[in-house]
């Protein structure tokens, strides 16, 4: 059986900007609590974040949301620049971070155009009431190293182990397999799955919405191809990173403008 | 070189060895003050190690700040040595003689100062040695695709080569000190000079090694700062960094700041050690000034091209970056200061012979260049990161913290401290080189005029 290539489809049309994915990720992955100080210092750690943009002039203002997480790029700019191989690509299409190897040069963070890599500026701390909430499957990172979204690799590994034990195959869309953000999403805006399995939901969505396997021309910035039904695009694909996350653009029936970054 | 001062051997010895054999009154206070700054900087560093990099002003997206600016700055200064002692030696520029050692020593100490910086910069300094290609118990070879693995090898090679160069050129002078001291000091210098007797064979080998080292070090001249520039240029995601012109642009910038630093150091040497002004002459400053006009103007061309290439495509992220860099306070103010100090004030000054031969004016103009070149690195690194991606949501800014400022001050104090300590134990003016120059001196007649000249080696 071919190795899986894990990936995600994010439908911007369904995203309500509720930040449930951010909280789900926070509790699953032992991310320290981001207090107000962390935001004023511009040092919050959010493996997935909702970027919020305002569009239009008052009173016709629209809030636009886009969830941004590690794109697990096939040609990740963060990987070649790490001097100690703390970040590399594994055989399942994941861009993994080895915390023990990291010495904290922050070169990868500069390389990443999506800005999804986070540095532990402070020793992570939790209030006493949350000490027992920490997930035993996830390392608590120390100060001075980088961390980022892993597609909840601990859940993928656990599901794989159990399916091997029970001699079953991994079910597509299994809630045991899905990353926390996908499970937490109220509107199913995030879909997780295996791009190497043509029967998976993400493969079908990618085929339907992206068409030609990822690159090339979709509608341009001015939205001239209004009748193009395909909504798929990669984030910042002009950087040639070949991400594993496919975004579906927002459908805007009133202005027919195209939401694209 | 129009001036022709003939000094006899004794005069040269007295002048050049005065800093070693006698201690000026200001020496101890100066050493203590710079040492104080070093201690403060190290205290700040350990405070940072204890509390984490949170005590700096770094944030997301400005992950690199003062430390990396300072790293590039000191690597830039270190290009002085190679320019003065290798290139000018190979091109047989006579005026280099009195300043070769000062330039080389400045190189060695500024490289050491630069090598501090990665330690300060990384999140877990106690593991920095993992970037070296050695099979430590972790069993992982470093990633040779990363410029941070090229950096230590290039800078390490340069440090070894220039240290060797300093030692080779010191040998005959150490022997002179050995002969002029008594007791334990004489013994120590005797060991340090590796049995120098001044036999023809020793002189021949010393000359050959000197020429070989200056030739072999030439590739390093190109590679070191190219590699430093690739720390930035390989990053496609940062608009202000991803430029193919960076390697030559950084090299010429490094020569600009390095040669200026040597000129500053020369003026200081002429001021603080009495008698030095009989060997170091305004003529030397004049020659350096003329060299600097060429270097500065070439550098300015590269600066112009860098901006022109960047704006040529009129991409929105690039325009956002340049808007921040040129027009938004405080970067706009720093940008104007940078242009004035690194080019528009010093270069017109150097056009005048009176300025080039004036000690205070050369001191001011070359100090200005290095203020400007420090700002140049700051303006390349910080605004580019602050406007890194098209995602306006993630744009940021950066204010250095007091901890970073103290640590940066430490590197400056370290270089000054190193130079002071060196000047106490070794002569900063190469005695044998000056004497050689005196021997080669000659006069030629052009028409009715007699012009100073020198015999080619």
Three-state DSSP class for A65?
strand
Please state the φ and ψ torsions of residue A65, each to the nearest 5 degrees.
-120, 145
Three-state DSSP class for A68?
strand
pLDDT confidence of A237, banded at 50, 70, 90? confident
Q: What's the pLDDT at B2?
A: 58
Average pLDDT over residues B41-56: 92
Whole-number Å distance between alpha carbons of B41 and B67: 13
Asked if this assembly's ipTM is beyond 0.90, the reply is: no
Please state the φ and ψ torsions of residue A34, each to the nearest 5 degrees.
-85, 110
Distance from CA of A106 to the nearest CA of B (A): 6
Asked if B147's CB is within 8 angstroms of A77's CB, the reply is no
Q: What's the pLDDT at A253?
A: 64
Whole-number Å distance between alpha carbons of A87 and A99: 9
Whole-number Å distance between alpha carbons of B289 and B354: 11
pLDDT tens for residues A167-207?
Answer: 888 888 888 899 999 999 999 999 999 999 888 899 988 88
Indicate whether A236 belongs to any domain.
yes
Whole-number Å distance between alpha carbons of B118 and B98: 33
Can you name the residues that pair with A183 across neighbouring β-strands?
none
Q: Indicate whether A217 pLDDT > 60.
A: no
Q: What's the pLDDT at A185?
A: 92
Contacts of B64 in chain A (CB under 8 A): 106, 110
Going by the DSSP 8-state scheme, the letter that residue B78 receives in this structure is T
Whole-number Å distance between alpha carbons of A138 and A124: 14
Indicate whether A261 belongs to any domain.
no
Cα–Cα nearest to A65, from A18, A17, A13, A14: A17
Note whether B373 and B253 are within 8 A (CB): yes
Average pLDDT over residues B248-270: 92
Average pLDDT over residues B14-25: 82
Indicate whether A253 belongs to any domain.
no
Q: What's the pLDDT at B457?
A: 53
pLDDT confidence of A222, banded at 50, 70, 90? very low
Whole-number Å distance between alpha carbons of B19 and A250: 75
For chain A, the domain total comes to: 1
Asked if B148's CB is within 8 angstroms of A83's CB, the reply is yes
Asked if A101's CB is within 8 angstroms of B130's CB, the reply is yes
- b/e burial code for range B306-343 (CB count within 10 A of at least 16 → b): beeebeeeeeebbebbbebbeeeeebeebbebbbebbb
Q: Which domain holds residue B298?
A: 9-454
Q: Indicate whether A211 pLDDT > 70.
A: no
Asked if A120's CB is within 8 angstroms of B390's CB, the reply is no
Whole-number Å distance between alpha carbons of A16 and A24: 15
Picking from B53, B236, B397, the nearest residue to A144 by CB comes out as B53
Q: Which domain holds residue A233?
A: 6-248
Query: Which region among A162-166, B82-86, B186-190 has the lowest average model confidence (pLDDT)?
Result: B82-86
Q: Indicate whether A228 pLDDT > 90.
A: no
Asked if B238's CB is within 8 angstroms of A81's CB, the reply is no
Q: What's the pLDDT at B62?
A: 92
Give the chain B residue whose CA is nearest to the CA of A37: B54
Q: Per DSSP, which regions of chain A are E strands?
A: 6-11, 48-55, 62-69, 87-89, 95-97, 118-119, 146-147, 190-194, 232-233, 245-248
Note whether B158 and B227 are within 8 A (CB): no
pLDDT confidence of B7, banded at 50, 70, 90? confident
For chain B, the domain total comes to: 1
Indicate whether B4 belongs to any domain.
no
pLDDT confidence of B85, banded at 50, 70, 90? confident
CATH classification at residue A162: 3.30.70.20
Structure tokens at B415: 């270089």
Whole-number Å distance between alpha carbons of A187 and B424: 75
Picking from B64, B123, B138, the nearest residue to A144 by CB comes out as B123
Asked if A112's CB is within 8 angstroms of B130's CB, the reply is no
Q: Indicate whether B403 pLDDT > 60.
A: yes
Whole-number Å distance between alpha carbons of B385 and A226: 35
Average pLDDT over residues B120-134: 87
Asked if B64's CB is within 8 angstroms of A115's CB, the reply is no
Picking from A52, A111, A145, the nearest residue to B235 by CB comes out as A111
On whether any CB of chain B is under 8 Å from the CB of A224, the answer is no
Q: What's the pLDDT at A223?
A: 45
pLDDT confidence of A220, banded at 50, 70, 90? very low
Picking from B121, B131, B397, the nearest residue to A84 by CB comes out as B131
Average pLDDT over residues B293-302: 95
Indicate the length of chain A as a whole number.
261
Q: How far is CA B165 from CA B101, B161, B325, B338, in A?
A: 9, 6, 41, 34
The CA-CA-CA angle for residues B379, B380, B381, to 5°, reads 95
Distance from CA of A209 to the nearest CA of B (A): 24
Q: What's the pLDDT at B236?
A: 85
pLDDT confidence of A227, banded at 50, 70, 90? very low
Contacts of B382 in chain A (CB under 8 A): none
**To which H or E segment does residue B453 belong?**
strand B449-454
Indicate whether A259 belongs to any domain.
no
Asked if B138's CB is within 8 angstroms of A42's CB, the reply is no
pLDDT tens for residues B322-372?
Answer: 989 999 888 999 999 999 999 999 999 999 999 999 999 999 999 999 999
CATH classification at residue B267: 1.20.1630.10
Contacts of A120 in chain B (CB under 8 A): 52, 123
Question: Please, what is the average pLDDT of chain A?
Answer: 86
Note whether A230 and A209 are within 8 A (CB): yes
Asked if A103's CB is within 8 angstroms of B128's CB, the reply is yes
On whether any CB of chain B is under 8 Å from the CB of A17, the answer is no
- b/e burial code for range B432-441 (CB count within 10 A of at least 16 → b): bbbbbbbeeb
Q: What's the pLDDT at B364?
A: 94
The CA-CA-CA angle for residues B176, B178, B181, to 5°, reads 110
Picking from A42, A113, A144, the nearest residue to B389 by CB comes out as A113
Contacts of B230 in chain A (CB under 8 A): none
Contacts of A121 in chain B (CB under 8 A): 52-54, 58-59
Q: What's the pLDDT at A254?
A: 59
Distance from CA of A158 to the nearest CA of B (A): 26
Whole-number Å distance between alpha carbons of B19 and B454: 29
> By a Cβ cutoff of 8 Å, what residues of chain B touch chain A?
51-54, 58-61, 63-64, 118, 121-124, 127-128, 130-131, 138, 140-143, 145-149, 231, 234-238, 385, 388-394, 396-397
Cα–Cα nearest to B248, from B269, B270, B225: B225
Residue to mutate among B47, B48, B49, B54, with most A CBs inside 10 A, is B54
Q: Indicate whether B64 pLDDT > 50.
A: yes
Cα–Cα nearest to B165, from B126, B121, B215: B215
Distance from CA of B378 to the nearest CA of A (A): 16
Picking from A42, A83, A236, the nearest residue to B60 by CB comes out as A42
Higher pLDDT, A212 or A100: A100
Q: Which residues contact A80 (CB under 8 A, 6 or more apart)?
A: A111, B143, B145, B146, B234
Picking from B63, B121, B140, the nearest residue to A101 by CB comes out as B140
Asked if B52's CB is within 8 angstroms of A103's CB, the reply is no
Average pLDDT over residues A125-137: 87
pLDDT tens for residues A41-60?
Answer: 889 999 999 999 988 888 88
Cα–Cα nearest to A47, from A66, A67, A76: A67
Asked if A115's CB is within 8 angstroms of B148's CB, the reply is no
Q: How far is CA A56 from CA A61, A64, B227, in A?
A: 5, 11, 45
CA torsion sign, B357 to B358 to B359 to B365?
Answer: negative
**Chain A, chain B: beta-carbon pairs less than 8 Å apart:** 138
Distance from CA of B82 to the nearest CA of A (A): 28
Average pLDDT over residues A36-42: 89
Ranked by mean pLDDT, the top range of A215-229, B7-21, B168-182 is B168-182
Q: How many CA atoms lie within 13 A of B278 on its CB side?
A: 13
Asked if B54's CB is within 8 angstroms of A110's CB, the reply is no
Asked if A144's CB is within 8 angstroms of B131's CB, the reply is no
Please state the φ and ψ torsions of residue B113, each to the nearest 5 degrees.
-60, -40
pLDDT confidence of B98, banded at 50, 70, 90? confident
Average pLDDT over residues A208-218: 58
Residue to mutate among B62, B66, B393, B403, with most A CBs inside 10 A, is B393
Query: Which region among B238-242, B282-286, B317-321, B453-457 has the lowest average model confidence (pLDDT)?
Result: B453-457
Q: What is the 3-state secondary structure (H, E, C) of A67-99?
A: EEECCCCCCCCHHHHCCCCCEEECCCCCEEECC
Distance from CA of A66 to the nearest CA of B (A): 11
Asked if A81's CB is within 8 angstroms of B145's CB, the reply is yes
Picking from B121, B143, B389, the nearest residue to A82 by CB comes out as B143
Q: What's the pLDDT at A216?
A: 45
Structure tokens at B258: 């390095």
On whether any CB of chain B is under 8 Å from the CB of A63, the answer is no
Indicate whether A260 belongs to any domain.
no
Three-state DSSP class for A171?
coil
């Amino acid at each position: 059986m071919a190795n899986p290539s894990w990936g995600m489809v994010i439908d911007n049309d369904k995203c309500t900007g509720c930040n449930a994915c951010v909280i789900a990720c926070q509790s699953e992955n032992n991310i320290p609590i981001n207090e107000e100080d962390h935001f004023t210092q511009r040092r919050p750690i959010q493996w997935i974040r909702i970027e919020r943009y305002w569009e239009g002039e008052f009173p016709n203002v629209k809030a636009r949301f886009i969830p941004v997480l590690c794109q697990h790029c096939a040609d990740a700019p963060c990987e070649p620049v790490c001097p100690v191989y703390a970040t590399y690509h594994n055989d399942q299409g994941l861009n993994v971070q080895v915390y023990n190897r990291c010495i904290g040069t922050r070169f990868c963070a500069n390389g990443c155009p999506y800005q999804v890599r986070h540095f532990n500026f402070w020793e992570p701390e939790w209030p006493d009431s949350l000490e027992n909430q920490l997930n035993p499957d996830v390392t608590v990172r120390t100060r001075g190293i980088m961390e980022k979204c892993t597609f909840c690799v601990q859940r993928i590994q656990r599901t794989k182990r159990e399916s091997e034990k029970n001699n079953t195959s991994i079910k597509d869309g299994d809630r045991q397999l899905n990353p926390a953000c996908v499970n937490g999403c109220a509107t199913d805006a995030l879909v997780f799955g295996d791009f190497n399995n043509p029967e998976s939901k993400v493969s079908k969505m990618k085929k339907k919405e992206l068409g030609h396997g990822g690159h090339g021309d979709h509608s341009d910035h001015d939205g001239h191809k209004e009748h193009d039904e395909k909504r798929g695009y990669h984030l910042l694909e002009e950087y040639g990173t070949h991400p594993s996350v496919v975004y579906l653009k927002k459908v805007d029936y009133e202005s027919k403008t195209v939401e694209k970054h | 070189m129009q001036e022709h001062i003939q000094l006899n051997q004794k005069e040269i010895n007295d002048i050049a060895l005065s800093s070693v054999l006698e201690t000026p009154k200001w020496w101890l206070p100066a050493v203590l003050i710079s040492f104080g700054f070093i201690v403060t900087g190290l205290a700040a560093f350990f405070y940072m190690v204890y509390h984490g990099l949170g005590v700096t002003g770094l944030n997301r997206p400005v992950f690199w700040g003062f430390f990396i600016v300072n790293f590039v700055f000191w690597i830039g200064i270190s290009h002085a040595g190679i320019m003065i002692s290798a290139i000018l030696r190979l091109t047989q520029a006579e005026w280099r003689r009195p300043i070769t050692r000062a330039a080389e020593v400045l190189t060695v100490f500024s490289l050491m100062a630069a090598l501090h910086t990665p330690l300060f910069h990384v999140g877990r300094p106690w593991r920095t040695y993992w970037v070296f290609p050695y099979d430590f118990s972790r069993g992982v070879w470093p990633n040779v695709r990363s410029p941070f693995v090229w950096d230590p090898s290039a800078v390490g090679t340069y440090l070894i080569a220039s240290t060797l160069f300093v030692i080779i050129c010191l040998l005959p002078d150490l022997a002179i000190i050995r002969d002029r001291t008594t007791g334990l000091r004489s013994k120590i210098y005797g060991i340090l000079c590796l049995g120098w007797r001044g036999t023809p064979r020793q002189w021949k080998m010393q000359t050959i090694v000197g020429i070989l080292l200056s030739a072999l070090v030439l590739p390093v001249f190109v590679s070191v700062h190219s590699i430093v520039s690739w720390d930035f240029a390989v990053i496609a995601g940062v608009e202000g960094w991803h430029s193919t012109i960076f390697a030559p642009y950084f090299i010429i910038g490094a020569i600009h700041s390095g040669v200026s630093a040597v000129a500053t150091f020369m003026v200081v040497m002429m001021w603080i050690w009495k008698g030095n002004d009989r060997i170091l002459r305004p003529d030397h400053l004049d020659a350096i000034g003329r060299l600097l006009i060429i270097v500065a103007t070439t550098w300015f061309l590269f600066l112009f091209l860098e901006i022109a290439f960047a704006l040529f495509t009129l991409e929105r992220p690039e325009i956002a970056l340049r808007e921040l860099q040129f027009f938004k306070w405080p970067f706009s103010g720093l940008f104007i200061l940078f242009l004035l100090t690194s080019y528009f004030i010093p270069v017109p000054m150097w056009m005048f012979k009176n300025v080039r031969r004036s000690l205070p004016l050369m001191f001011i103009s070359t100090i200005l260049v290095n203020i400007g070149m420090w700002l140049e690195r700051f303006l390349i690194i910080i605004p580019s990161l602050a406007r890194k991606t098209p995602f306006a949501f993630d744009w940021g800014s950066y204010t250095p913290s007091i901890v970073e400022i103290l640590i940066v001050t430490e590197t400056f104090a370290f270089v000054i401290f190193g130079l002071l300590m060196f000047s106490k134990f070794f002569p900063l003016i190469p005695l044998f080189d000056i004497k050689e120059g005196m021997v080669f001196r000659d006069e030629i007649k052009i028409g009715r005029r007699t012009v100073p000249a020198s015999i080619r080696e």
